[in-house]
Structure 1
Amino acid sequence: MLAFGAAAVLYVVFAAASKPEQSQGLMRFARGEMQRLIILPDPPPLSSRTLRDGAGAETNLTAFQGEVLVVNLWATWCAPCVEEMPTLAALQQRFEGRLRVIPVSVDSAGDLQKAQAQLAELSGGRLPFLIDITRGVLFDAQAPGMPVTIIYDADGNELARLAGGADWSSEETAALLEAVLAGEAA
């Protein structure tokens, strides 16, 4: 019986040691709405691709360095993108002045006005409109599909990402972003 107990203890220790560490860094927040959160071992740099705002002025994501960013790649024809947009607006409102939510539409030039109007409606006007009609920002970010939301630190380094729709107004999301803002990404 003693040998069986010792074997059981060794099994538990071995099993725990052989699993990827989920309780370290930001991965400890990968639950609930954030259960699909991932941290890439070698994330791509923040895209410097030219984007256009609603007035047609050129900018890019590097213009926002110095701020924690939650960048959401979306399109009007992507149902999960549309569904999560009001929660991204709620996230922006909750963290106003502490981080910036930046949705980037990858709709075509012909759908620019539709995308701009839809974002304004879905976000209550709380989120800025940016578009990349070339869709190159998807490739720069190595996005596996849409929506994809990427969290960057103030230096423009990717900290984590989530592919697929989520409720960005959830308490799990708030806890994750509080940790990011407190510098607990490591």
Structure 2
Amino acid sequence: MDTNANSAPPQKPWALWAALTLVAVGAIALVYVLLVASSKPETQQGLSRFASGEMARLYVEEAPPPMPTRALQDAAGNETTLAAYQGQVVVLNLWATWCAPCMEEMPSLAALQRNFEGRIAVVPVSVDSEGDRSKAISELRRLSDGSLPFLQDMTRGVLFDAQAAGMPVTIIYNRQGQEIARLAGGANWSGEDASRVIEAVLAEQ
């Protein structure tokens, strides 16, 4: 009687090892994805749903840079930083007088500040040169009716700190100083589309 006729073929240890390795790698990848997702503020994860209408270009960076910390100069020539707004929802706007879309959207940013007075801080930072400083101060005062603070970075280093590809760019930070979303290009910040975004950030605990 042939005892080998019905016997199963010998198992290949390397095949079993490969299968177990694939399962382990898949499990690790799943845990990593879940950890990354849970590490983001809840508002940041869901804010992209507001990317429509005037906020159509709103997007969430996968790995946003930290809030810029470099020294800025106010209208009086004093140095300050964005840390002065710690604990507040900050709407940072990078602009210049030679940037037409920047100038066009500034009145709507001033309206956003008035609409949420005491609840957020709209902070325009000019990257105009020293020679255009006086012009930048007067233009911001005119466009915002004096409702927005003047800050300036003549080195333009803030653009690199914020990883801004162009101007204008508006970046929203939560109370913990974490970037929640950004919008590249001009937009109307005075309407309901922008208000819904800000209300969502303010609702974050």
* Counterpart residue type for residue 133 of structure 2: L
> Which TM-score applies when normalising by structure 2?
0.77
Query: Which residue pairs with 2:86 in the alignment?
Result: 65
Superposition deviation, residue 155 in structure 1:
1.0
Query: Which residue pairs with 2:64 in the alignment?
Result: 43
Query: 1:162 is paired with a residue of what secondary structure?
Result: strand
Map of 1:103-114 to 2, 5 A cutoff? 103-114=124-135
> Which TM-score applies when normalising by structure 1?
0.85
- Give the RMSD, CA atoms, in angstroms: 0.9
Identity score, percent: 65
Is it true that 1:121 corresponds to 2:142 in the alignment? yes
Superposition deviation, residue 147 in structure 1:
0.1
Runs of 4+ in 1 over 6 A off after TM superposition: none
Is it true that 1:83 corresponds to 2:97 in the alignment? no
For 1:148 and 1:60, locate their aligned partners in 2 and report how far apart those are by CA, in whole Å: 18
Superposition deviation, residue 97 in structure 1:
0.4
For 1:94 and 1:63, locate their aligned partners in 2 and report how far apart those are by CA, in whole Å: 21
Unaligned stretches of 5+ residues in structure 1:
1-23
Query: Which residue pairs with 1:149 in the alignment?
Result: 170
For residues 133-184 of structure 1, the C-alpha deviation after alignment (integer angstroms, 9 at most, x for no partner) is 0000000000010000000001110000000000000110001100110018
Query: Which residue pairs with 1:170 in the alignment?
Result: 191
1:92 to 113, 116, 133: 113
Query: Which residue pairs with 1:131 in the alignment?
Result: 152
Query: Which residue pairs with 2:54 in the alignment?
Result: 33
Unaligned stretches of 5+ residues in structure 2:
1-44
